[in-house]
Amino acid sequence: MKDDYLWDKTGQPEPEIQKLEEILGTLRYQPKPLELPVSRRRNYLPLLAIAASLLLALVAGAVWLRSRNQSVPQRHEAQVVPPAPKIDEPEPETIRDKSKTAIAVVKPRHKSVSSAFSKREREEALVAKEQLMLALRLTTEKLSLIHRKTLNTTPASPIKNQHRVG
């Protein structure tokens, strides 16, 4: 039986099969010992390039922040200084009610609040008021934009606005 030769190498081989074995014998598995690659010197150039670029970005950011802070004008803050008491103030008048023994003290009225502030203080107050009004306008616009966006997130149903006929 010549078929046994193909499976377990018993019996007589055919000449054609022997030629094929010789031709393909060079491709046969040949076990070799495991060879580990020789450790080469590690290349640190990519790591150094990354570190240098991060350092450059940090320095550029610090320079930008410093120049930005120097170019921003100082904020104007209103300083409220209570007015000093006047020496020439008249003493409060006392009124006695004849039917009752209680005494009512009537204090003299002060000038309006706007005249109590100096011109500079009034200007600072107006600047602060304008800044507050601008902030309130911006906040209102942003809130209305968010409100509009949240209303438009749900898809409009074609049935939603139709009325029942009949």
Q: How many CB atoms lie within 10 A of CB 10?
A: 8
- Give pLDDT, residue 4: 75
Q: How many CB atoms lie within 10 A of CB 152?
A: 9
- Give pLDDT, residue 140: 92
- The encoded tokens of residue 166 equal 């009949």
- For the chain of 166 residues, list the mean pLDDT of each consecutive stretch of 10: 72 87 87 84 88 96 87 65 63 54 55 69 91 92 88 61 57
Q: How many CB atoms lie within 10 A of CB 122?
A: 14
